[in-house]
Amino acid sequence: MKKNAILVIDVGGNNVKLLVAGHATRRKIPSGSKMTARRMVRDVRRATRDWSYDRVSIGYPGPVIGGRPMREPYNLGGGWKGFDFRKAFGLPVKVINDAAMQALGSYRGGRMLFLGLGTGLGSALIVDGELEAMELAHLPYKRGKTYEDYLGERGLRKAGRKKWSRRVFEIARELQAALEADEVVLGGGNAKKLKSLPARMRRGDNAKAFVGGVRMWKARR
């Protein structure tokens, strides 16, 4: 087993993406509504049989407290809440919210707000290196709808790209002002649908989740 090698697992609604730090090639496993926590561990172990690692980082699509999911995910199967990943993998494991993991990989300093535009809406704030995962997605925003209703995949399909993009920038500016963030990073799979970004906003990259998965072991949190 390679010493100090970290397996990073980015759990998504459509795929579970995998990379061992130092490898160039990622792997992915289809997820979806039948992907339970136990099945994820089993499938990951199968998919990485020829990889050597001695620690595991997991980005989970939901709130995490004390290294364990606190709520079942909206787009996956069950059995995640309170699941003991350390016992299942037989290795040291760190689990954080998936948006927080990508935020950590995107961080350059100061006060940074991260918004993950994907199937749902992820969010995190980093202030002077201190990471705080946030749960903005299901807070009410307008007309009885949540931030995720406007900025998630459903909102994109309903509004169309142009109108959705305007909403993204409007909400991002409001949150940036409220949280006094120096910059906003717009990440997640749908960030690529945004055209020219306003000042003090930059586009994230899903690959940064793997950088964040490594930084988790050094981060102050």
> How much is the pLDDT for 2?
53
Distance, in Å, from the CA atom of 23 to the CA atom of 33, rounded to the nearest integer, reads 29
pLDDT higher than threshold 70 for residue 219: no
Distance CA 127, CA 220 (A): 11
Q: What pLDDT, on a 0 to 100 scale, did the predictor assign at position 105? A: 96
97 has pLDDT over 60: yes
Alpha-carbon span 175 to 177, nearest angstrom: 5
The pTM assigned to this predicted structure is: 0.89
- Amino acid residing at 113: L
Instruction: Domains for the chain: give ranges and CATH numbers.
Output: 6-100+210-215 (3.30.420.40), 109-203 (3.30.420.40)
Dihedral Cα 214, 193, 137, 211, nearest 10 deg = 0
pLDDT band, very low/low/confident/very high, at 67 (cuts 50, 70, 90): confident
Residues 147-168: tens digit of each pLDDT = 999 999 999 999 999 999 999 9
Residue range 191-209: mean pLDDT, rounded: 94
